[in-house]
Amino acid sequence: MLGPPGSGKTMLAKRIGTILPTLTPGESIETTRIYSVLGRLEAGQPLMARRPFRSPHHTISEAGLVGGGSTPVPGEISMAHNGVLFLDELPEFNRRTLEVLRQPLEDRVVTISRAMASTTFPADMMLVAALNPCPCGYRGDPRRDCHCNPPQIERYMAKISGPLLDRIDIHIEVPAARYADLASRQAGTSSEQMRQEVDAARQIQRRRFSRARVNYNGQMSSRQIRQFCPLDGAGTELLKMSVNEMGLSARAHDKVLRVARTIADLAGSESIASEHLSEAINYRHLDRQMWT
Ligand SMILES: [Zn+2]
């Protein structure tokens, strides 16, 4: 999420858990086990009932984030297992620390190797990150003037590596006015309604993958994407054009299709229509390097 301070990025991140399906007993046991290993279970709480939300500070060490130590202990990415890991002010994190996220984001587990043995911890979390649009934070904000120059903005954005951005499915802009708009609007969609829509989309995916080894659109392999995400002529053309114009990587290309499939599922649509595909392409915002 890219937006100025006060636009509601943290609030949005904190609420993601409220629209995700309720923890299954299996997920609850997995997550509880991690907290148990760390001695972090609250008194009188035998099982975790809610999806975890972890929000480590940007000064966190590599070991703190992914796990480590001479006797390896799980880090924040494992404490966020089956929940949300929120990294606020992403460019402020140590770049090396962020780089170590790449492997667990792909594998959904983290392996800590030591001379004698290696330990693997679960790390299947949703990574949510927030950043300001420039060093001062107010670029594009009608309420405040921004005097950051293009090289400063470029240096700031360059602190996040391309390969990490490439592994993030959805890039969105959260403009300054948005929060006030949302707060004043009378009838929005409640978290409970959204959770029901998410549940309905998950049902469709369970049926889709009843004979496959995956559960969700997000886990589809390239081969499965070709099988389950066919596009019509116009869609194929649109995607080809976007790949060329935005310089999308092969990974980003696949992500667009997985996200488009999910948007279509949320809309209850059997096929991926142009509007679903365009929306998914719009979420590759940062691939376009809008800041330059
Ligand atoms: Zn600025």
State the distance from the centre of ligand 1 to the C-alpha of 68, rounded, in angstroms: 37
State the distance from the centre of ligand 1 to the C-alpha of 141, rounded, in angstroms: 9
First-to-final CA distance of the chain: 18
24 DSSP assignment: P
| Torsion from C-alpha of 19, 176, 133, 75, nearest 10 degrees | -30
Which distant-in-sequence residues (6+ apart) come within 8 Å of 245 by Cβ? none
State the distance from the centre of ligand 1 to the C-alpha of 147, rounded, in angstroms: 5
Taking residue 175's Cβ as centre, other Cβ atoms within 10 Å add up to 17
State the distance from the centre of ligand 1 to the C-alpha of 176, rounded, in angstroms: 13
Q: Do residues 260 and 279 make contact, with C-beta atoms less than 8 angstroms apart?
A: yes
User: C-alpha distances in angstroms, 5 versus 54, 135, 183, 245?
Assistant: 20, 11, 16, 31
pLDDT confidence of 186, banded at 50, 70, 90? low
Instruction: Measure CA 184 to chain center.
Output: 27
CA-CA distance, 156 to 170, in Å (whole number)? Answer: 20
Query: Mean pLDDT lowest for which of 155-164, 172-181, 263-272?
Result: 172-181
State the distance from the centre of ligand 1 to the C-alpha of 222, rounded, in angstroms: 39
pLDDT tens digits, residue range 23-59? 999 999 999 999 999 999 888 888 988 999 999 999 9
C-alpha closest to that of 134 among 169, 91, 98: 91
Q: Do residues 183 and 11 make contact, with C-beta atoms less than 8 angstroms apart?
A: no
- Which has the higher per-residue pLDDT, 115 or 236? 236
Q: What are the structural domains of the chain?
A: 9-184 (3.40.50), 191-286 (no CATH)
State the distance from the centre of ligand 1 to the C-alpha of 160, rounded, in angstroms: 17
- Ligand 1 (single-atom ion) residues, CB below 5 Å: 134, 136, 139, 146, 148
Query: What is the overall mean pLDDT for the chain?
Result: 91
Q: Do residues 53 and 64 make contact, with C-beta atoms less than 8 angstroms apart?
A: no
114 DSSP assignment: -
What's the confidence (pLDDT) of residue 291? 43
Average pLDDT value for residue range 159-177: 87
pLDDT tens digits, residue range 239-253? 999 999 988 889 999
Across the beta sheet with 126-129, the strand order is: 53-54, 84-87, 126-129
Taking residue 197's Cβ as centre, other Cβ atoms within 10 Å add up to 15
Tokens of 168: 């993030």
State the distance from the centre of ligand 1 to the C-alpha of 158, rounded, in angstroms: 15
The rounded radius of gyration (Å) of the Cα atoms in the chain is: 20
State the distance from the centre of ligand 1 to the C-alpha of 145, rounded, in angstroms: 8
Percent of the chain with pLDDT over 90: 72
The DSSP bridge partners found for residue 2 are: 131, 173
Q: Do residues 262 and 208 make contact, with C-beta atoms less than 8 angstroms apart?
A: no
Q: Do residues 211 and 202 make contact, with C-beta atoms less than 8 angstroms apart?
A: no
State the distance from the centre of ligand 1 to the C-alpha of 152, rounded, in angstroms: 9
State the distance from the centre of ligand 1 to the C-alpha of 130, rounded, in angstroms: 16
State the distance from the centre of ligand 1 to the C-alpha of 135, rounded, in angstroms: 5
State the distance from the centre of ligand 1 to the C-alpha of 156, rounded, in angstroms: 10
State the distance from the centre of ligand 1 to the C-alpha of 140, rounded, in angstroms: 8
State the distance from the centre of ligand 1 to the C-alpha of 134, rounded, in angstroms: 5
Tokens of 269: 């649509």
pTM equals: 0.91
State the distance from the centre of ligand 1 to the C-alpha of 138, rounded, in angstroms: 5
